[in-house]
Amino acid sequence: MRHQKVEVLAIGAGPANLALGIALEELAPKELAAGTLIIEQHDDTLWQRGMLLPWTQSQVSFLKDLVTLRNPRSEFSFVNYLHTTGRLDEFINLGTFTPYRSEISGYLQWVASSLSEVRVEYGRRCVSLEPGPLVDGEVSHWLARTADGAVISSRNLVIGAGRDAHVPAELSALPEERVIHSTRFSERIEQVGADRARRIVVIGGAQSAAELLWAAYQRFPEAQCTMLMRSIGLNAYQSSKFTNELFYPSFIDDFFATRPETRSQVLREMHVTNYAGLAPAMLETLYREMYQERLRGTERLRMRTLTDVAAARMDGDEVVLTTVDRKSGDREEIRCDLVLLGTGFVRDMPAMVRDLAAATGAGQATVDRAYRMVLPESYTAGCYLQGVNEATHGIADSLLSVLASRSQDIVTDLLARRGLPADEALLAELL
């Protein structure tokens, strides 16, 4: 069994931990950056791996990359990536603030390859996390076990692996090959033959579900594609320049200091700005295609609103969904070959985080303003959570918008607990 010892272990080589890697190289002493290891279960770095479709775009400005809002002169900016790869002229000429997802994905891989001190290792899946032993009344490190049989000991842990996919309980008994969640769509749809996808049902009513519907409609030109949603219909993201200010990094302090009941109100009202809507271009594309189908008299793209899925079962080679009309309460069976899930993510903390919090005796996983998990006094080992703190840090916590500032908060806290200042001259310059 291989045993490694590092100062900081970051799980997941996605945007959050890559932003942290940049911040460590720019703000921390060299020895801390060199003592940091990022592990990734896949063999490369991709953004929104399951939905990396060629026509999909980010809904966030390229200026909200991993570093620009913290250090606009950084060599790790998206603009420098375009310049380095010889594509800056073309991107400028495109005239957009929102790059294609494939461009964001390429940027992330470029960053991972460009880090000079922080190490990124691929093909290393973390299978368990546990506290180190109590020695002299103190727990000073964590133990991470990986699928390759190694144990990694770290003084500080940063979990940035994202939330768990939400698969409705009503569908959990269906065979795996008949249900594809959006997080695995790009990978698994390649294994589906046209003869096994004559009738496709997409469950969900927001952007990911709409993208699944459109992707399936294009990929299987003979298939009947039906979208089931609980809402009254598809809506555009509800946003304005006023509500967009709630995505500023500067809003985090206000939100963190707000009373819990008001936080809940803000999150409810902001839900339609991120989770319950579609990009206007996607709405327009779907509506126009449905309109043209009616003109042609061939309606293979359908939507059923105000519909719940109450149960699912197999009947021979068919998936049978029991649906309930929310208007009348009537039940109906829909038979199909494949179910695609645009159902998002579990709202609770990821299972990995919950299990770790339970192992420490902390109970429910909560974090302080610097994203450090609140642990019993015996813990000098630190654990930071990225992208799962909407309840305390606001709706932008899972988005690209706050990556640059959050990485600075975590690095500053890491250094303060080591009795070291961050690069004060650079911080003063940037702030």
Residue 172 has a pLDDT of 87
Strands 126-131 and 142-146: antiparallel
**2/106: higher pLDDT:** 106
pLDDT of 426 higher than 50: no
Helix axes 15-27, 101-114, angle to 10 degrees: 40
Query: What are the two backbone dihedrals, phi and then psi, of residue 106, each rounded to the nearest 5 degrees?
Result: -65, -40
pLDDT band at residue 418 using 50, 70 and 90 as cut-offs:
confident
Q: Which two tokens stand for residue 263?
A: 């936080």
Residue 1 has a pLDDT of 57
Kindly report the average pLDDT of the chain as a whole number.
Answer: 93
Residue 307 has a pLDDT of 97
Residue 69: C-alpha distances to residues 47, 52, 61, 64, 405 (Å): 20, 25, 11, 6, 7
pLDDT average, residue stretch 249-254: 94
Residue 429 has a pLDDT of 43
pLDDT tens digits, 74-117: 999 999 999 999 999 999 999 999 999 999 999 999 999 999 99
Residue 427 has a pLDDT of 47
pLDDT tens digits, 315-336: 999 999 999 999 999 999 999 9
Residue 273 has a pLDDT of 81
pTM: 0.93
pLDDT tens digits, 203-218: 999 999 999 999 999 9
pLDDT band at residue 428 using 50, 70 and 90 as cut-offs:
very low
Residue 12 has a pLDDT of 96
pLDDT of 430 higher than 50: no
Residue 401 has a pLDDT of 92
pLDDT band at residue 151 using 50, 70 and 90 as cut-offs:
very high
* Complete edge-to-edge strand list for the sheet that includes strand 301-304: 179-181, 338-341, 199-203, 224-228, 301-304
pLDDT band at residue 431 using 50, 70 and 90 as cut-offs:
very low
For 326, the 3-state DSSP assignment is coil
pLDDT of 412 higher than 80: yes
Domains and CATH numbers, the chain: 3-164+347-430 (3.50.50.60), 169-237+277-341 (3.50.50.60)
pLDDT tens digits, 16-49: 999 999 999 999 999 999 999 999 999 999 999 9
pLDDT tens digits, 335-378: 999 999 999 999 889 999 999 999 999 988 999 999 999 999 99
- Pick from 91, 17, 21, 4: nearest CA to 47: 17
What are the beta bridge partners of residue 158? 10, 384
Tell me the C-alpha distance between 409 and 77, whole Å. Answer: 19
pLDDT of 70 higher than 70: yes
